[in-house]
Amino acid sequence: MADKVIITAALSGAGTYKNNNPNVPYTAEEFAEESAKCYKAGAAMVHVHARLDDGMPTHEVDKIRATHDAIKDKTPELIVNLSSAVGMDKTAEQRITQIVEIKPEMASLNTNTMNFGIVDRKTGSVLIDYVFENTFTMLQDFGKGMEENGVKPEIEVYDIGGLDNVLMIMNQGFFSKPMNFNFVWGVAGGQKFRPEAFTTLYNALPPDSNFTTCGVGNDEFPAIMQSCLMGGHMRVGLEDNVRVPTGELAKGSYELVEWAVRVAEILGREIATPDEAREIMGFKK
């Protein structure tokens, strides 16, 4: 299993829309179709921010459940990883309720309060600006809620401070092993991908942890290549980046998965199946 690499496809996010790429899914049916394509391309897991039919992110449990179930009905092999962020200005209760009621196999767990937005990289103009709240209490309560309901947390790390927060909270002992971390790069408010920063995060991980990585825009492929090179896993998809490395709009998250498979092949890593991914990440049987 050591050489197996897990590929995750992040299908939509809370800030990527059809005007960015027309292949971003909105409806449950679109999510199911795209997930099936990603599985066929080599993804073991899909990360999902459910949408209303008009594309707006939603915390509504019934809508998120419909999207989750549509994916599982069409491709039961896939791991579905739901977001506990769900969108701007959602309450802590709105963010965690859908996780503990739907009980996906995995869900994102964010680690620190931070600026979060969209900034024009060329001009520096702020286009969307808000504070993404993730207090110590939320980190604790969300983590406990996931573990108690059989949901494996994917711990989202935007900088070394977020990882240090987890190292403190984990002393309570409720996280099951192995812990699974995702290093996130290129978010406006987080840190830009730098190989030395990646190495710092890697060296600070708790023993026997798993790690994957994702990068926004141009940070996507350098980040996943370093992760794959260092024995970690890879996340790609339209949530993070709407273009393939040639600069053209991606035909879907599945095309970005195909590129990730090429990275793995170049680096001599075998692609993990969903069941192999479950074993690697320590899912309860």
Encoded amino acid at 127, one letter: L
Q: What is the pLDDT of residue 1?
A: 61
Q: What is the pLDDT of residue 114?
A: 94
Where the chain has pLDDT below 70, the residues are 1-2
Q: What is the pLDDT of residue 120?
A: 77
Q: What is the pLDDT of residue 117?
A: 84
User: pLDDT of 88-121, one tens digit each?
Assistant: 889 999 999 999 999 999 999 999 999 988 787 7
Domains within the chain, CATH numbers bracketed: 4-281 (3.20.20.70)
Q: What is the pLDDT of residue 123?
A: 87
Q: What is the pLDDT of residue 2?
A: 64
Q: Is the pTM of this model over 0.75?
A: yes
Q: What is the pLDDT of residue 167?
A: 98
Q: What is the pLDDT of residue 118?
A: 78
